[in-house]
Amino acid sequence: MHRYVIVNAFSDRVLAGNPVAVFFDCDDLEPEIMQRIAAEMRLSESTFVSCPRSGGDAHVRIFTPVNELGFAGHPLLGTALALSLRLKKTTLNIETAKGIFPFTLENARLRSDLPVAHVDMLQPSPIIQPYAQAEALMLALGVSHSTLPIEQYDVGPRHVFVGITDIQTLAALNPDQRALAQHENMAALCFCHDGNYWRLRMFSPAYGVVEDAATGSAAGPLALHLARHGWSDFDQPLEIWQGIEIGHPSKMYGMAHRDGGTYRLYAGGQAIQVAQGTYAI
């Protein structure tokens, strides 16, 4: 029997944000079983917490319904809230396949008797390169051009950013999922400026997600993409909204810091624990 909780990341409300299932005490589970559980949960990701191996507070593995990820934003942000409640700590070092990452929790409180907190996280430094299949990707998305170069940011999951000219076009996107599925091991991130904040939509048949409500691992890379091309400033926190079109509005913050030729990426947002249970395995 394994206890689990469900946390909505990047929101402080039920039926909003992006849910992640967090399973505890998973040292006895084989990766194949974790993958099967993640497929049954039918969430974009599930996480499996085990004892630390490298001096952190916990070791976490992340699974989509179809594969394992070395790093992912919203699952780890939600896991950080669940671990904070379990360990009674507001600073955490979480071990992942991509390394150990620090998390800080602030403004912990109850909302309708449900635990809520703001969580900040450091993200991996990305590997950046032009996306070789840009023309085919635009065709699959149904867009004629991108407002910025179409580039891939590899932070564990691979994010490919496509700039959309206006909010109406972004909201109306209806990708050809079969054509998009030909793009392996990547997520298509379509973004557009909307006044004082940025809007984002993510499509990834490759990761088993038709559309994601909140792609936390893309928040820092989006801030970096915009700063590299002069559309925002380094060290400027960006407010990013996602999931509006699928009825799960999510608010994220992303920021990029430049230190010579290297980058440090940050992301943050609210999280709320909305459910708990026991899985009989």
Q: Report the C-alpha gap between 203 and 220 in whole angstroms.
A: 18
Ranges assigned E (strand) in the chain: 2-9, 18-23, 46-50, 58-63, 68-69, 91-96, 99-111, 114-123, 127-130, 151-154, 158-163, 187-194, 197-204, 209-212, 238-242, 250-259, 262-279
Radius of gyration of the chain (CA): 18
Q: What is the DSSP code string of 155-216?
A: SSSEEEEEE-S-HHHHHH----HHHHTTS-S-EEEEEEEETTEEEEEEEEGGGTEEEES--G
DSSP conformational letter for 279: E
Q: Which of 32, 40, 45, 239 is catalytic?
A: 45
Which residues, other chains included, contact 231 with Cβ-Cβ below 8 Å and sequence gap of 6+? 148, 193
Cβ atoms of 145 and 152 within 8 Å: the answer is: no
Q: Is 45 a catalytic residue?
A: yes
Q: Report the C-alpha gap between 20 and 32 in whole angstroms.
A: 19
Kind plus residue range of the DSSP H or E element containing 74: helix 73-87
SS3 218: helix
**Which residue do the tokens 């909302």 mark?**
111
Residues catalogued as catalytic: 45
